[in-house]
Structure 1
Amino acid sequence: MKKIILIFILMFLQSCNGKLESSTLEIINNYSFNSAISNSDKIIIRQKKANQTEANRDEACFENKSIFETEKTERIESFKKLFENSKYTDYCCCPETNYSIDFYKKSEKIVSFFADTSQNKNKVRVFESNFQYSYLIDKNKWNLFLNQIKVKRQN
């Protein structure tokens, strides 16, 4: 009987440890993501070129024409608001990469995230480059945000 109780206690402690680790990672990742947004003075969102493979996420596979760009503080804040009440997820396997989201500070890229707009009918998955975490945001809010920021056309 003592062995059964001891096993039960060990299993309970292990499950608590896993939940604590997961919560800690979520706090760290949320801080990192929100810091990237807060420290940015420009956000550039580029669509993936049609002829690129799914696994490719390097600079050259994204459009340089008709990119979405904002340097306005209120638009950067509205981007941040897209993630209020969003669903945080741990490791996400195999999202599609439809957009690159680049955060800049004084013309220097500080970090890139990516967006999958095609795997889920009502949600957009914004994920970090190693797939370690992501956010699910409402697709209508995403589209509205893109419509509000200017499209910069480059040659």
Structure 2
Amino acid sequence: MKKLSSILLFFLIFGCREETEKQENLSDGITSEEYSDISENYVFKPYEDNKSYCTKILINSLKKSKERFPPFSPLMLFESTQISTFEDLLESSEKTSYCCCPTPNLEISFYNNNSEFDSYLVDTIEFKNKVRIFDKGYQFSYLVNKKKWKEYLKDKKIKNRHYRTSDLAAARKIYNICLENNLIVKNAPTVSKHWMSYDGEFTFIVEEKGKKIAEDFHLELKKKYSEKNFKTQFIYQKHIYNEDKSKYYQSRIELIIFCNKDFYNAFDLQGKKSKFRKTKADFFILGPNKKLEALPDIK
């Protein structure tokens, strides 16, 4: 009797971002091209190899969570453009190799202007007289004297302003104002960050017997809609096959597609397509109080 085994794979695959025609934003007729700067992808650059690239450091608290990477919290916020001072702090500390597994309660994010490119986590609870700043992969850490850490944070506190709205056009305009005024924006963990570029999302399920469909499906998706603007996020993929992996008995893919309504209406690949779900904007703007007070309200 052939033995069945299953592999569950979770990963992200991003859809084609090329655009040859304007994609209409259904909120008020503003096109997504007008907001191209708010849909830039996060580009990872290791801080240790790109210190000169860093122009700003943000330190924020994290919500209490059992997750490996707890979500953002605005309770404690610090900002600094003095990168050399942060470097002095690390150089005066003890650097360790692999460390497992600290409990993070703060996050340090490294920015080039408004674009985040790397981040560390911080555990201020593990030691009485030290703070552990560590790589998210636990490959290294810095043990910093707690008094020096507190001294570093002195006079660096900033405020936040929270927006939550279904008026995407107004939210995107405020987002652009933030970029122009060098204000950091943190997306709330309650919604997808893709509200910045897309009006909604839908779920799509593909299921077949007798073959593996992941690669074929993604190629078909990119080929058919190569001139459309959307993103895909695979949330579940399952393959069941025989012991020597020579035959697939069943394949199933579930994904979320972030897009505008016109793409949803045109999408006709074979599979189970959910209803289009309109998204909301939920984000925090971080910076000096005077700049935050000058931002417009959303009615």
**TM-score by shorter chain over 0.5:** yes
Out of 140, 143, 152, the residue aligned to residue 133 of structure 1 is 140
1:117 is aligned to 124
2:17 is aligned to none
Over 3 Å counting, the alpha-carbon distance change for 1:99 and 1:90 in structure 2 is: same
1:79 is aligned to 86
Please list every run of at least 4 consecutive aligned residues from structure 1 whose deviation after the TM superposition is greater than 4 angstroms: none
Please list, as runs of the form range in 1=range in 2, the aligned pairs for 1:136-147 lying within 5 A after superposition.
136-147=143-154
Over 3 Å counting, the alpha-carbon distance change for 1:35 and 1:124 in structure 2 is: same
Out of 62, 68, 80, the residue aligned to residue 56 of structure 1 is 68
**SS at 1:142's partner residue?**
helix
Which is richer in strand? 2
The question of whether the paired residues in 2 share the 8 Å contact of 1:66 and 1:154 is answered with no
1:38 is aligned to 52
Q: Quote the Cα distance in structure 1 between the aligned partners of 2:89 and 2:159.
A: 21
Amino acid of the structure 1 residue aligned with 2:74 = N
Q: Deviations over 1:114-137 (max 9, x none)?
A: 111000011111101100111101
* Max Rg structure: 2
Unaligned segments of structure 2, at least 5 residues: 1-45, 163-299
Count how many residue pairs are aligned between Structure 1 and Structure 2: 117
Q: Quote the Cα distance in structure 2 between the aligned partners of 1:123 and 1:66.
A: 19
The question of whether the paired residues in 1 share the 8 Å contact of 2:61 and 2:75 is answered with no
Q: Quote the Cα distance in structure 1 between the aligned partners of 2:142 and 2:75.
A: 27
Q: Quote the Cα distance in structure 1 between the aligned partners of 2:134 and 2:102.
A: 8
Q: Deviations over 1:15-64 (max 9, x none)?
A: xxxxxxxxxxxxxxxxx5444443211111110123x22x4315xx1213
Over 3 Å counting, the alpha-carbon distance change for 1:66 and 1:153 in structure 2 is: farther
Over 3 Å counting, the alpha-carbon distance change for 1:113 and 1:36 in structure 2 is: farther
The question of whether the paired residues in 1 share the 8 Å contact of 2:47 and 2:110 is answered with no
Out of 137, 155, 161, the residue aligned to residue 154 of structure 1 is 161
TM-score, scaled relative to structure 2:
0.37
Out of 83, 87, 99, the residue aligned to residue 92 of structure 1 is 99
CA RMSD of aligned residues (A): 1.8
**SS at 1:111's partner residue?**
strand
The question of whether the paired residues in 2 share the 8 Å contact of 1:68 and 1:150 is answered with yes
Q: Does 1:67 align with 2:77?
A: yes
**SS at 1:46's partner residue?**
strand
Which is richer in helix? 1
Out of 103, 107, 119, the residue aligned to residue 110 of structure 2 is 103
Q: Deviations over 1:1-23 (max 9, x none)?
A: xxxxxxxxxxxxxxxxxxxxxxx
Q: Quote the Cα distance in structure 1 between the aligned partners of 2:83 and 2:156.
A: 10
The question of whether the paired residues in 1 share the 8 Å contact of 2:124 and 2:130 is answered with yes
Q: Quote the Cα distance in structure 2 between the aligned partners of 1:35 and 1:150.
A: 27
Q: Quote the Cα distance in structure 1 between the aligned partners of 2:51 and 2:123.
A: 19
Q: Quote the Cα distance in structure 2 between the aligned partners of 1:133 and 1:148.
A: 28
TM-score, scaled relative to structure 1:
0.68
Amino acid of the structure 2 residue aligned with 1:56 = R
Displacement, 1:148?
A: 2.7
